Each structure stands twice: as structure tokens, then as C-alpha cells.
């Protein structure tokens, strides 16, 4: 994928790319993304938190980590994706973390359902505040975002303290984070310090200014919310170090990958190896859904494509729709392969 | 740090930056880098290896993972740094993985000393071959590199199978890698499949063409080997999301960081806050060496600098010396801070 506007990545974008980790796409082969391969987007710095003195404030209650860990616990696999995944392919390119396609991961998260902690409360929204602090658009702030009350109290929303069976690593929100399955990653506030039930909508930076789908700054736009459907290939064959172009032996090969959607289950995945769209075989579901496609690779240059449709009928566009922040670009995955 | 040549990062560089993880510099605060924050440079794809059928070949011997784990084991903290760390600051910028300063980590590695497995052997070099395959400079290859025989049989060289007390994650070379303390990371071949004692020098790509310090392709140059001294700050204060510029409250603050060298122990670290170079206090040594410096931060714009000297007398240049591959740039760390 060339940079869409023909212009190089800036120093600011490179600084972000040097900090924020993508998941190398060959890691799609794992049902559960190993720690250290899951994508990371960290707005400010990773804060240091002492678990012994840590307290979560919910309104005027304070809970220690031991108290939270003593509550009923649930473990579930959840595919998380950054709202900016695919941003660097948009033209003109919105300037922020320049993700290509790697901002995804599928982990097993353990925590306690949030809704039991909000029992008896009522409000319009719930605000989640993290311990990470910085400046964004000249506004000093802690990272914080709100959710509509009904979404915050949905059955599957967790206060998560374990990742893949071990305490959260610092970079994933140690000791406690919000986990909102099906929503883009900015929703799942890390290093959670405070939960506040609001009687009117939150107008802070991350809800009112950032993370809105809009064409210009004059427009209010719509909030970024649930993850759009996407299918990605495990890149077949072997790569060139520099270009990442793929080389494959001719003959029968199994193309594999994963698909997910925050709106519903995956209904189908299609693959095009140059002969039109064909149905792929769906495999196990564990957070994301595996797919495979048998291909008798003929010598030559090929472009492979895959796309997912979910049970709500949502699919993937051939070309990415543009928006100011570069959010939710779920255009069809293309991989160029030299067979020979 | 601006991109030195004023030109944007290319698509190829961005693809590499999206895969290869840097360590966010605030992680310098950890004595041992948590899994998932250690830097990663992976030439081709992360290979999948079944530990049950895995065998290491040493000449014509085969060893299973259980057999290797049954050998005497050693655990040691080792600071590893990519030879290309700092490449993106060189002018003109060598095109490869565009590291700024984040390609470092300090982990606790467990494994068995290699020299006992090479007892009785003699040769000029030892060749280490990985299971990762790809194309580089149009040459299909497995990643493999040789070491002079004396370096390969040094006391501290390990065949490592654990990282921070757990089996290597896939991205760090599971199930077995070479670990050569003090040498740049390309030396410590991951996904190790074969060890071969050579009676003459290896002339493969990664030794003869890549990883040589030289000014032009006509020149043979000298091999990249041991890590040059470097000190890096934990960035003080809080960052701007986009620019990573730092903001700090006025008054007394402790500047901290880590220093390391592959040539010898750290002898001193100096810090300049704008009033000339002053000695920093050295702290604990655990792989890298901690340092700290008390600063009464006055309001205004400041550039902070730090630099290390090791016991061999090697230090850090103010300006990076250029070479074709962009290797071993250990120029002094500078951080711009707004106090107010």
C-alpha cells in the first residue's frame, strides 16, 4: 500500500509510530495474541501505578485492587482494534499515529462486570478517567472518555485486571482498565482511576473533539463507536525485508486469516485471488473468527483480497471513505504476491 | 529530533516501523523491561515453531528442547540494543527501519552456556542459523550470522529459552535463541535451528553485506559488533500527544535514566540542563546502570542532555558519525522541555 497522498510520513508521525506497537500480521495465526504482539496505542506516557496503594473511585466509593479481584470474575476473548487502523492509507492522510493495518489484537481478558458496581445508579453517561496525563491540542488533560449509560452497563463490559491469564502488563493499563467489547480501543480506558455517573453528556476532548467521524472541524460529526467489519490475511509465503512484498511457491496453498466486527458475528468471508470473489471457509470463533481458502497458486503476479460481512449486513468498502481524523477505515485487505 | 534530511519517511520505512517495536522511553524506569515493551527487530516473519518436534542441530548432533533445558542453566540481565538505533537522525537518512532512540530493552534471560556445547570443537567462526526466512537485497535466505570462534565461546554467551522467567514469546525467538551480551541485537540469532563450526569466515549476506560500518558500497568496512555507550533519560514531565514535547512544573525534580555499553561497565554519566556538563549520580546496575540528577527546574525553555562514558574510556559524540547502513549512532540524548 503506497502512502495515499504521495507524501512522506512526518517526524511527528514517526515519533508516534516508534512508540505505538502494531501486531505483525503473521500473528493472526494465533487464536489468542501473545503478550507483546497485541497492538498498543498510548496517548500520553505509560503511568507507573503502585498496586498496593491503588484505589478505584466510583462516585464516592473507593475500592482497592484486592476488593475488585474478590468480586465475581469473567474471562472472555475480545478482539480490540484501534479506531485509527488504516489511517495511513487515506488521501489526504490525517496526521496522527500512521497505522497501516496492524492495530489489532485478540486477547483473553479477565475482570468483573461493571454493571454490578453501578447497580442502583442512573444517569445519562458514565465517565471513565485514566491516570495517564498529557497535552492534546494544547489542552492539558487526563485521558478520559464517557459512554452512554446503557452501553456502560451492558452485560459484557468489564473492569479488567488480567490479560491472557496474568496481571495486565503496564502498557495495557495495569492494574485495572475498562474493557468494552465490540468498541474501538479508545473506549477501553486504561489505568482506570475514577468512574463517574453523569447526568448530562460529557463534553471533554476525547469525546467532543477527537474520535468523531466528520469531514471538517466545523462539523459536529458522529462519535466513533463500534468496530466496523474487517478480514485480514496471514500474509502468505515469505517477505522481502524492506518492501514486505510476498514471495510464494506455485501450487496448492491454504490462505488463512481472521475476521471480526463489533456490530455482530461474522456471517461470511470472501476471498479474491484474481478470479472474482469466492466464499472462504469459516473456522473457529474465539473473539475473532478464523477463515481459510484453498488456492492453487499459478506462477505470476497476483493481488489477493479478502473481505468480511457480519450478521447485521455490514461489509467492507473497496475504497476507504475519508474523514478528518482518519477513523474506521475498513477497506478491503489487498496483498500483492509473486508466485514463482 | 527532526528528520535529519528534511524528507519524510517512505512507505517502506513506515511498513517496517509498523512491525518493529520500540520501547517507549518512560519504560526506562523499570529495572527489567516488561514483556511487550522490549524492542523488537524482526527481519522476515515470526516463524511458528512446534516445541515438541523442535530440534537444534549442532554439527551432526540433534538436541530436543527438553535436552537443552536439562543442561546447566544461568540467568542474567542483559541490555540489548538494535544496531540501527538512532538511524532516523542521520543525514542523509539510510533507508531501513527508521529508529529514533527506542530500540533497546533490558531483560532477564535464562539459558545454557554455549561454550560447554562446543567443547572439543575448534574453528575460525561459528555460524548461527534461524528458522526465519525471507528475501533481502534480492537474495532469498534464512537469517544467519557468524561470530568469531573466541566470541562464540565466551563465558557469557547463552542459548536462551526463557525471558523474564517465562518461555520466550514467539517474537523473541521461541523456543530458543542465541544471546550474546554486549553485542548489538542482530548477533543474537532468534529461532535458532543450526549451529555450525566454520573453518573459514562466513561470507553470507548479514555478515558480508549488511551490518558493516562503511561510507560506500565499494568499501568492505568493519563489522558491526559491540554496543557503543549510551545514556537515555526517562522523559520528564508529561508529553504532548502529537509532538511528544515535554511539559514540566517548575521546582526541584529528579531527572533519571539508564546507561549501558557493550565494551565495559559504565564509569560515569553526565547531565547538562543548560549550565554545562555535571556528574550524575550512578545507581543500581542490573544489565543497564541507573542514574539520577537533581534539577531545580526554572521556568522557560530548556534542552536537557545526558551522556555516558564507560570504563574503556569510550563516550558519546555530540553529533552522530554517518555510515551507509545507519549503524551505531550513539550521539548524545537531547530532550526539549517547557517548564512553567
* pLDDT (tens digit per residue) in B269-327: 999 999 999 999 999 999 999 999 999 999 999 999 999 999 999 999 999 999 999 99
User: What confidence category does residue A66 fall into, taking pLDDT thresholds of 50, 70 and 90?
Assistant: very high
Q: Which residues pair with B257 in a beta bridge?
A: B233, B291
Does residue B146 sit in the same domain as residue B243? no
Q: How far is A86 from chain B (nearest CA, A)?
A: 11
* Residues of chain A neighbouring B171 (CB-CB closer than 8 A): 24, 27, 34, 36-37
Picking from A202, A223, A244, the residue at the C-terminal end of a domain is A223
Does residue B22 sit in the same domain as residue B123? yes
**Rounded CA separation B175/A237 (Å):** 22
Does residue B131 sit in the same domain as residue B104? yes
Burial (0-12, 13-18, 19+ Cβ within 10 Å), A92: exposed
* Residues of chain A neighbouring B338 (CB-CB closer than 8 A): none
Bridge-based pairing of strands B55-58 and B192-198 is parallel
Residue-averaged pLDDT of chain A: 96
Give the distance from CA A145 to its chain's centroid. Answer: 16
Does residue A59 sit in the same domain as residue A44? yes
Q: What is the pLDDT of residue B268?
A: 98
Kindly report the number of other CB atoms within 10 A of residue B5's CB atom: 11
Given a cut of 90, whether residue A211 has pLDDT beyond it is yes
* Residues of chain B neighbouring A2 (CB-CB closer than 8 A): 11
Does residue B104 sit in the same domain as residue B203? yes
Does residue B171 sit in the same domain as residue B310? no
In a domain, A199, yes or no: yes
For residue A309, which phi and psi values (nearest 5 degrees)? -125, 140
Question: What angle (nearest 5°) sits at the alpha carbon of residue B243, between those of residues B232 and B9?
Answer: 85
User: What confidence category does residue A202 fall into, taking pLDDT thresholds of 50, 70 and 90?
Assistant: very high
Reported as a single tens digit per residue, the pLDDT across B195-210 is 999 999 999 999 999 9
User: What confidence category does residue A26 fall into, taking pLDDT thresholds of 50, 70 and 90?
Assistant: very high
Residues 170-189 of A with CB under 8 A from B: 170-172
**Rounded CA separation B187/B154 (Å):** 14
Reported as a single tens digit per residue, the pLDDT across A279-324 is 999 999 999 999 999 999 999 999 999 999 999 999 999 999 999 9
Does residue A152 sit in the same domain as residue A274? no
Q: What is the pLDDT of residue B6?
A: 53
Does residue B182 sit in the same domain as residue B262? no
User: What confidence category does residue B8 fall into, taking pLDDT thresholds of 50, 70 and 90?
Assistant: confident
Compute the average pLDDT of residues A175-190. 98
B96 touches chain A (CB under 8 A): yes
Compute the average pLDDT of residues A79-105. 96
HSE at residue B285, side-chain half, CA atoms within 13 A, is 8
Choose, out of A6, A8, A12, A18, the residue to mutate when testing the contact with B (most B CBs < 10 Å).
Answer: A18
**Rounded CA separation A257/A303 (Å):** 16
Domain enclosing residue B253, as ranges:
230-339
C-alpha cell at B118: 562446543
Residue-averaged pLDDT of chain B: 96
B198 touches chain A (CB under 8 A): no
Compute the average pLDDT of residues A214-233. 97
Reported as a single tens digit per residue, the pLDDT across B106-139 is 999 999 999 999 999 999 999 999 999 999 989 9
Query: Which CATH number covers residue B328?
Result: 2.60.40.650
* Residues of chain A neighbouring B84 (CB-CB closer than 8 A): none
Residues 6+ apart with CB under 8 A from A289: A258, A259, A260, A265, A266, A269, A282, A283
Q: What is the pLDDT of residue A292?
A: 98
Query: For a pLDDT cut of 70, what percent of chain A falls above it?
Result: 98
Does residue B274 sit in the same domain as residue B302? yes
Compute the average pLDDT of residues A225-236. 98
- For the entire predicted model, the pTM comes to 0.97
Does residue B181 sit in the same domain as residue B278? no
Question: What angle (nearest 5°) sits at the alpha carbon of residue B101, between those of residues B99 and B106?
Answer: 110
**Rounded CA separation B149/B121 (Å):** 10
In a domain, B325, yes or no: yes
In a domain, A144, yes or no: yes
Burial (0-12, 13-18, 19+ Cβ within 10 Å), A167: middle
**Rounded CA separation B238/B251 (Å):** 15
Looking at this predicted complex, what is its ipTM?
0.95
Reported as a single tens digit per residue, the pLDDT across A308-319 is 999 999 999 999
Q: What is the pLDDT of residue A88?
A: 95
Does residue B219 sit in the same domain as residue B270? no
CB contact under 8 A, A24 and B7: no
In a domain, A2, yes or no: no
Compute the average pLDDT of residues B222-248. 97
CB contact under 8 A, A243 and B12: yes
**DSSP secondary structure, A28-41, as one string:** GGSSSPPTTTS---
**DSSP secondary structure, A26-79, as one string:** GGGGSSSPPTTTS----SS-PPP--TTT-EEEETTEEEEHHHHHTS--EEEEEE
Q: How far is B76 from chain A (nearest CA, A)?
A: 21
A334 touches chain B (CB under 8 A): no
Q: How far is A284 from chain B (nearest CA, A)?
A: 19
**Rounded CA separation A22/A17 (Å):** 9
User: What confidence category does residue A6 fall into, taking pLDDT thresholds of 50, 70 and 90?
Assistant: low
Residues 14-73 of A with CB under 8 A from B: 14-19, 21-22, 24, 26-27, 29-30, 34-38, 40, 42-46, 48
Helix and strand numbers (H, E) in chain A are 5, 22
Picking from B223, B257, B286, the residue at the C-terminal end of a domain is B223
User: What confidence category does residue B143 fall into, taking pLDDT thresholds of 50, 70 and 90?
Assistant: very high
HSE at residue B87, side-chain half, CA atoms within 13 A, is 25
**Rounded CA separation B230/A148 (Å):** 49
Residues 6+ apart with CB under 8 A from A41: A20, A82, A84, A97, A103, A185, A186
* Residues of chain A neighbouring B95 (CB-CB closer than 8 A): 242
In a domain, B167, yes or no: yes
- Report how far apart the first and last C-alpha atoms of chain A are (Å, whole number): 22
Does residue B125 sit in the same domain as residue B274? no
Q: What is the pLDDT of residue B5?
A: 52
Cβ atoms of B117 and B30 closer than 8 Å: no
- Report how far apart the first and last C-alpha atoms of chain B are (Å, whole number): 22
Q: What is the pLDDT of residue B150?
A: 97
**Rounded CA separation B301/A158 (Å):** 43
Given a cut of 70, whether residue B92 has pLDDT beyond it is yes
User: What confidence category does residue A3 fall into, taking pLDDT thresholds of 50, 70 and 90?
Assistant: low
A235 closest CA partner among B127, B188, B18, B177: B18
3-state secondary structure (DSSP) of residue B261: coil
Reported as a single tens digit per residue, the pLDDT across A128-180 is 999 999 999 899 999 999 999 999 999 999 999 999 999 999 999 999 999 99
C-alpha cell at B255: 531527572
Cβ atoms of A185 and A173 closer than 8 Å: no
Place of cell 535463541: B177
In a domain, B326, yes or no: yes
Picking from A223, A245, A262, the residue at the C-terminal end of a domain is A223
Distances in whole angstroms, Cα of residue B85 to Cα of each of B214, B317, B325: 17, 15, 11
Query: Which CATH number covers residue B197?
Result: 3.90.420.10
Bridge-based pairing of strands B246-248 and B333-339 is parallel
Q: How many domains does chain A have?
A: 2
In a domain, B280, yes or no: yes
Q: What is the pLDDT of residue B303?
A: 98
Q: CA of B13: which chain A residue's CA is closest?
A: A242
B13 touches chain A (CB under 8 A): yes
In a domain, A116, yes or no: yes
CB contact under 8 A, A247 and B140: yes
Q: What is the pLDDT of residue A5?
A: 52
Amino acid at each position: 500500500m503506497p502512502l495515499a497522498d504521495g507524501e512522506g510520513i512526518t517526524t511527528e508521525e514517526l515519533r508516534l509510530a516508534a512508540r505505538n506497537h502494531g501486531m505483525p500480521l503473521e500473528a493472526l495465526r494465533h487464536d489468542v495474541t501473545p503478550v507483546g504482539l497485541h497492538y498498543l496505542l498510548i496517548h500520553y506516557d505509560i503511568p507507573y501505578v503502585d498496586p498496593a496503594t491503588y484505589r478505584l473511585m466510583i462516585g464516592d466509593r473507593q475500592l482497592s485492587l484486592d476488593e475488585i479481584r474478590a468480586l465475581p470474575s469473567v474471562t472472555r476473548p475480545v478482539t480490540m482494534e484501534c479506531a485509527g487502523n488504516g489511517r495511513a492509507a487515506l488521501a489526504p492522510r490525517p496526521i496522527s499515529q500512521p497505522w497501516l493495518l496492524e492495530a489489532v489484537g485478540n486477547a483473553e481478558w479477565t475482570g468483573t462486570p461493571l454493571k454490578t458496581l453501578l447497580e442502583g445508579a442512573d444517569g445519562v453517561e458514565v465517565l471513565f478517567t485514566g491516570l495517564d496525563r498529557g497535552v492534546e491540542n494544547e489542552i492539558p488533560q487526563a485521558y478520559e472518555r464517557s459512554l452512554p449509560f446503557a452501553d456502560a452497563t451492558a452485560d459484557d463490559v468489564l473492569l479488567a485486571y488480567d490479560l491472557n491469564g496474568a496481571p495486565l502488563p503496564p502498557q495495557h493499563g495495569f492494574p485495572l482498565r475498562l474493557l468494552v467489547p465490540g468498541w474501538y480501543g479508545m473506549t477501553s480506558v486504561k489505568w482506570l482511576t475514577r468512574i463517574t455517573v453523569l447526568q448530562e453528556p460529557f463534553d471533554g476532548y476525547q469525546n467532543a473533539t477527537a474520535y468523531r467521524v466528520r469531514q471538517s472541524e466545523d462539523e459536529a460529526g458522529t462519535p466513533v463507536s463500534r468496530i466496523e467489519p474487517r478480514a485480514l490475511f496471514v500474509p502468505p509465503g515469505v517477505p522481502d525485508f524492506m518492501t514486505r512484498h510476498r514471495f510464494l511457491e506455485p501450487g496448492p496453498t491454504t490462505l488463512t486469516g481472521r475476521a471480526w466486527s463489533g456490530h455482530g458475528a461474522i456471517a461470511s468471508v470472501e476471498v479474491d485471488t484474481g478470479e472474482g470473489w469466492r466464499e472462504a471457509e469459516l473456522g473457529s470463533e474465539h473473539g475473532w473468527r478464523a477463515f481459510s481458502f484453498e488456492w492453487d497458486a499459478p506462477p505470476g503476479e497476483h493481488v489477493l483480497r479478502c473481505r468480511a460481512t457480519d450478521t447485521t449486513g455490514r461489509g467492507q468498502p473497496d475504497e476507504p471513505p475519508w474523514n478528518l481524523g482518519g477513523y474506521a477505515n475498513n477497506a478491503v485487505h489487498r496483498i500483492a504476491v509473486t508466485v514463482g
